[in-house]
Amino acid sequence: MSGAEFVPLSLVPMLIGICVAVACALPGNFLVLRKQALIGDAISHVILPGIVVAFLLTGAVTTWPMLFGAAGAAVVAVVVIEAVVRLGRIEPGAAMGVIFTAMFAAGVLLLEQSDTSSVHLDVEHALYGNLESLIWLDAVGWSSLFDRQALAGLPVELPRMAATLLFVAAFIALFWRPLKISTFDEGFARTVGIRTGPLGFALVIVAAIAAVAAFDAVGSIIVIAMFICPPAAARMMTNRLEHQLLWSAVFAVVSAVAGYTLAAFGPLWLGLSASVSAAGMIATLSGIILALAAMFGPHRRRGAG
Amino acid sequence: MILDALLLQLGYNATLVTIGAALLGMAAGVGGTFLFLRKRALVSDAISHATLPGVCVAFIVMAMLGGDGRNLIGLLSGAAASAALGLLCVNWLSTRTRLAEDAAIGAVLSVFFGLGVVLLTVIQTMNAGRQAGLEGFLLGSTAGMLRSDALIIAGSAAITLALVVLLRRPLTLASFDPEFATATGQNVGRTDLAMMGLVLAVTVVGLKIVGLIMIVALLIIPPVTARFWTERTDHVVVISGALGGLSAYIGAALSAALPHFPTGPIIVLVGFGFFTLSLLAAPGRGLASAVIRHRRFQRRVHLRQGLLALAQGQPIYEPLTLRLLRREGWALLDGVATDDGRARAAKALRDETRWQTIRSDPDFEAAAAHYDGLRAIETVLTPDQIEEVDRMIGAPRPVQT
């Protein structure tokens, strides 16, 4: 395929897919090890009401209010879940189930009640996103990468996602030691003076930021899949956290690139005309990688070396 | 209009759907209780998301064979098959690999759902797929349902409920005390399988009414709500079933009566309303009663400290203590004890001395263990024992000059 076709149509979605996948997979490693894997699932459900409320308040589908609405909803959900666990003495899993389904239901109802038919805001979009539509119209080929005018027409999702990825990576690098210690041995972490409570909360917030930023571009399926599948597959490959993070990043990139390629061109190879959902395909591929790792990974069993 | 709907006056289809939803809600409430007690509530989330590829494959197969892709029985069979596969994957990942159950749940739900979305987009490109309406399975849609579909849903909801009632004894035993269940010769593994089968049935039947994203709420919210009202497993089961049935009934009726009220979200929100109410107002575990308990405790502590201060002639500066003492008529406005207050204070001080005595005497070890600074000594010692303690302390002596 020529650059003239690839750069405007496929390069940007692919890069966004990679950024999303890695930005979610990195904090996902800690969430999986801390048995908080379903937080990604919960967050991606609860941001729907936040986005709808932001839309109702501003009356338009604009980026910043929606991001704030989504982040606000995520924080509200985390606080409410914690409150229900403490006040009602309910186990965290069940409390999470109650709150995220209720908030999601509220979001769907608000969406149905308000007149959003004129704008592009619906539940399906929130679920699968629309990676394929993020094309770079101003590009004419590889040379556009050095063309300032063409670069100005780049979809805003790409720089935003790249910034999110940098932010997430910086957080993990900055708090590497405390994160690592508190993930494996919380009691020891407390004795050496690490404030595990705020640190755990910060980790959830960073995951929420990654989820909210990604959600806008690609929908919630990729977000949930990337929080869990690459880290889970990486866990089968190694016992060292440093290597696990690297493996998870590699798996995330492979899922994103191969998933996007298969979704965009796979049906053509089979002789069908249209492409299939890239978000769904990326999630599926990450699942296949996880299945392979679970069957053949060197460290797949509990306690075995 | 709403009243009509609640009284089942909105036509045959709406009535069938409402009754079906209520039966399903009951089955979900009861089945969900066992799931909740086994601490596996979120497994149902993986099961429900795993139905999507099955629905899509069933549609594609039926359409390719030249039949009507929208045949509900076919779609639901596909859903059940892929949900069972998803469940197997969760079990395999969480027992045979080092992954914890939550990671296994998350992996299965996202991957199966992703695959389902891919298949949905495939269906959209098929000629027969244009009006497939499979999106209705995501969020539930009962509007414009075929009569035959409504009959199928009401019927299968009734069967599911009957199954739950039939299996309630082994399920209760296994979820309340698995070790004891094993000791009595029950195969807990098989009971767990039956429980998961029930959850699967609820999920599949509920697909069309509540939708696969929110069906998990039907299984989780009622038992969590019921837990606020009782400490007994058998009561949780009954209350949860009733709550589930009631919220599904009210939700389905409201949705039939009002425009733009999709069934699934309404049912979930009605259930959440019950939950919020219980969290605030339930006796014992609710928020209000916790606050009342705390205030009562605070009052006892303040009164007791106030009395001890009066007895020892110390001035009281703390405003709450002063106010409480005044309200009991034990002290005047300036903190000086009344006659009644002096008597009470003397008694409080005497009791404290008695406590200190028995705490240093090994003979009273069992009684002394109850000491928490608030407990009345009469509740742990007999009058004879108190007399004995008083002899040990000795009567007030005249002052030596």
Domains of chain B: 2-220 (1.10.3470.10), 288-394 (no CATH)
Report the residue from B102, B214, B260 with minimal CB separation from A104: B214
Whether residues B99 and A108 touch (CB distance < 8 A) is answered with no
For residue B194, CA distances in Å to B38, B88, B181 come to: 13, 14, 15
Name the residue type at position B306: G
Chain A neighbors of B39, CB-CB under 8 A: 91, 93-94
User: Sign of dihedral through CA atoms B258, B261, B264, B265?
Assistant: negative
Question: Where residue B187 falls among pLDDT bands split at 50, 70, 90?
Answer: confident
Owner of token pair 């029950």 = B186
Can you give the pLDDT at residue A305? 46
Share of chain B above pLDDT 70, in %: 95
Can you give the pLDDT at residue A180? 92
The DSSP-derived string for A55-104 is: HHHHSS--HHHHHHHHHHHHHHHHHHHHHHHHHHT--HHHHHHHHHHHHH
Can you give the pLDDT at residue B347? 87
pLDDT lower than 50: segments of chain A: 305
Whether residues A228 and B121 touch (CB distance < 8 A) is answered with no
Q: Which 3 state secondary structure label does DSSP give B337?
A: strand
Can you give the pLDDT at residue B80? 93
Question: Where residue B261 falls among pLDDT bands split at 50, 70, 90?
Answer: confident
pLDDT, average across residues B355-373: 83
Chain A neighbors of B114, CB-CB under 8 A: 221-222, 225, 279-284, 286-287
Phi, psi of A221 (to 5 degrees): -65, -50
Whether residues A37 and B106 touch (CB distance < 8 A) is answered with yes
Whether residues B214 and A300 touch (CB distance < 8 A) is answered with no
The residue among B56, B60, B98, B123 with the most chain A CBs within 10 A of its CB, best to mutate, is B98
Can you give the pLDDT at residue B127? 67
**Most confident region among A192-201, B104-113, B227-236 by mean pLDDT:** B104-113
Can you give the pLDDT at residue A115? 65
pLDDT tens digits for range B13-59: 788 888 888 988 998 998 899 888 888 888 989 999 999 999 999 99
Share of chain B above pLDDT 90, in %: 23
Rounded distance between C-alpha atoms, residue A114 and residue A103, angstroms: 16
Residues in A 117-156 with any Cβ partner in B closer than 8 A: 123-124, 127-128
Can you give the pLDDT at residue B66? 77
Residues in A 41-70 with any Cβ partner in B closer than 8 A: 41, 45
pLDDT tens digits for range B274-316: 999 999 988 888 888 889 999 999 999 998 888 888 888 888 8
Whether residues A105 and B221 touch (CB distance < 8 A) is answered with no
**Tokens linked to A238:** 């190694």
Residues in A 243-272 with any Cβ partner in B closer than 8 A: 263, 267, 272
Are the C-beta atoms of B119 and B53 separated by less than 8 Å?
Answer: yes
Name the residue type at position B24: L
**Tokens linked to A214:** 């990604």
pTM beyond 0.80: the answer is yes
Rounded distance between C-alpha atoms, residue A24 and residue A215, angstroms: 11
Rounded distance between C-alpha atoms, residue B110 and residue A284, angstroms: 8
Q: Which of B27, B224, B391 is nearest to A85 (CA)?
A: B224
Can you give the pLDDT at residue B392? 82
